[in-house]
Amino acid sequence: LVPDAAGRGTALLAARTAADLPVAYGEGSARRHARAGAAVLDLALPGLRRDVDTRADLREAVALGVGPRTADALAQGRLHLAG
């Protein structure tokens, strides 16, 4: 389990098998995953830990560098940083 930058959501959850993966979503998912037995990895990887739920989050992700699909969506006007 790698929590998001805020420490509340989940940026990465991995397991050996799908049956070992107790999936939780939304606010507090990191806490729920940890309670279900996932080991918490506190990694200094800001790009991985950037969860995008708001436009402010998107602006921070753009500053870190986004992937080609997000960059294309921004360039085509399908995503907006303002507002």
Identity of the residue numbered 5: A
Q: Which helix (H) or strand (E) holds 24?
A: none
Question: What domain range includes position 17?
Answer: 1-46
State how many domains the chain has. Answer: 2
Q: Which helix (H) or strand (E) holds 11?
A: strand 10-12
Looking at the fold, whether 5 and 25 belong to one and the same domain comes out as yes
The answer to whether residues 41 and 1 touch, using CB atoms and an 8 Å cutoff, is: yes
What is d(CA 43, CA 49) in angstroms, rounded to the nearest whole number? 8
User: pLDDT per position in the chain (83 positions), as tens?
Assistant: 999 988 889 999 998 888 887 888 888 999 999 999 999 998 888 888 887 878 888 998 999 999 999 999 999 999 888 87
Looking at the fold, whether 67 and 38 belong to one and the same domain comes out as no
Fill in the DSSP letter of residue 6.
Answer: T
Looking at the fold, whether 24 and 57 belong to one and the same domain comes out as no
